Amino acid sequence: MSNILKQQPRCGQKLSGTYLATFLLTILCGASIAQGSQANLPSSPSELDRQFALKVFPLLKEKCFACHGDDAEKIKSELNLTTREGMLKGGEYSTEVLVPGDTDKSDLYHSVTWKKPDLEMPPKENDRLTEDQITLLSDWINTGAEWPDETIQKAIREEQWTAPANEDGILVKTSGGQADTWTYRRYQPEDIWAYQPVIKPELPITDQTDKHPVDAFIDSKRNSKGFGKAPEAADRILIRRIYFDLIGLPPTPTEFKHWSSRFNDSSDKAIETGALVDELMASTHYGERWAQHWLDVTRYADTGGCLMTTNVRMRGGIGIMSFDHSTKTSLTISSL
């Protein structure tokens, strides 16, 4: 800034022509610089730009880049698919990998459809594109195969990261991933229902609404699917079901006789059912039964023979510690 502008005039002092001229010149120059900066900013991205940045490019990266561009020294078939220029150039076996506006002439499209025996990409059948993904790629080619520069793509991605939910799902706040694709990964609400805030929904109106809220929801869903209500289970069937559900074992003859007698003599079977459930949940067998799911997560197996005898002996202990006392649950799970 000019030194003359640093010397602020005192109140009532007459402004000199030099001061005014310098002041106006500074304002005009500042406005010119600001307009020049705005001119360098990318214009508002088009819908095609958004489609590419959010859908097409991630698809190409997932399915193609590992063999065709991620490693510049190991590009297969001399075909680099990481840029539009690379696609237009083609590779060892085709110079018409990408023909903007025409899928029929684009070998990129033909390869992902697997309709030509000698042109099937990705090569592993498990990695094949879905019909929706093929349609996405086809639409991109037919609309001109626009490929916005990285600045525009980054701006589009960062804009999406601020949206808690969109058509692709919802964001889940985490401590961050090893890459932005994981940090800002989106999930379908039904896939992560257990991590959503607990809410109290309105009870559906059914003939079970006055009995128990859970029964009301079950009845509502069952009715919507057109299924009738199952008959009430006999005492002997109910007892066996509870045993198998909670400890994975049938009742012994003595246990069965004991609980059958209690159910027969009781005027309120709900009380006896609750008592049976409480007794089984306090059993060490309950811990063993439900710890097996954690053992499955850790890929435990009894097939190691003599080399894994320690793990075989620990199996029951893990179950008992995990579920017999709730205060030990977190300790045991973390040790698994």
Mean pLDDT score, 89-116: 92
Q: What is the pLDDT of residue 200?
A: 87
Mean pLDDT score, 288-299: 84
The percent of residues above 90 in pLDDT, for the chain, comes to 41
pLDDT band at 131 (very low <50, low <70, confident <90, very high): very high
Look at residues 150, 175, 192 and tell me which one is the last residue of a structural domain.
150
DSSP 3-state of 166: strand
Q: What is the pLDDT of residue 40?
A: 37
Residue 4 has pLDDT above 80, yes or no: no
Look at residues 115, 150, 185 and tell me which one is the last residue of a structural domain.
150
State whether 249 and 330 are in the same domain: no
Residue 334 pairs with which residues in a beta bridge?
Answer: none
Residues 6+ apart with CB under 8 A from 50: 156
* CA–CA gap between residue 71 and residue 64 (Å, rounded): 12
Residue 220 has pLDDT above 50, yes or no: yes
Enclosing domain of residue 270:
235-281
pLDDT band at 209 (very low <50, low <70, confident <90, very high): low
Look at residues 134, 150, 166 and tell me which one is the last residue of a structural domain.
150
State whether 146 and 116 are in the same domain: yes
Q: What is the pLDDT of residue 261?
A: 94
State whether 143 and 95 are in the same domain: yes
Q: Is residue 141 part of a domain?
A: yes
Which two structure tokens, joined as six digits, stand for 101?
A: 């506006």
State whether 105 and 145 are in the same domain: yes
State whether 269 and 290 are in the same domain: no
* CA–CA gap between residue 184 and residue 231 (Å, rounded): 48
Q: Is residue 194 part of a domain?
A: no
Over residues 228-240, the pLDDT tens digits come to 888 889 999 999 9
Q: With 0-12 CB in 10 A as exposed, 13-18 as middle and 19+ as buried, what is 128?
A: middle
How high does pLDDT run on average in the chain?
A: 79
Mean pLDDT score, 109-113: 93
State whether 83 and 135 are in the same domain: yes
Q: Is residue 213 part of a domain?
A: no
Q: What is the pLDDT of residue 313?
A: 46
Q: What is the pLDDT of residue 16?
A: 52
State whether 258 and 242 are in the same domain: yes
State whether 266 and 295 are in the same domain: no
Domain count for the chain: 3
Q: Is residue 310 part of a domain?
A: yes
Over residues 30-83, the pLDDT tens digits come to 444 334 333 333 456 789 999 999 999 999 999 999 899 888 888 899 999 999
Residue 164 has pLDDT above 50, yes or no: yes
State whether 84 and 58 are in the same domain: yes
Q: With 0-12 CB in 10 A as exposed, 13-18 as middle and 19+ as buried, what is 87?
A: buried
The percent of residues above 70 in pLDDT, for the chain, comes to 76
pLDDT band at 18 (very low <50, low <70, confident <90, very high): low
Residue 291 has pLDDT above 70, yes or no: yes
DSSP at 67: T
Over residues 170-200, the pLDDT tens digits come to 988 888 888 888 888 899 988 988 888 888 8
Sheet of strand 165-166: strand arrangement: 165-166, 169-171, 186-187
* CA–CA gap between residue 292 and residue 336 (Å, rounded): 12
State whether 62 and 119 are in the same domain: yes
Q: Is residue 300 part of a domain?
A: yes
Q: Are 180 and 157 in contact (CB under 8 A)?
A: yes
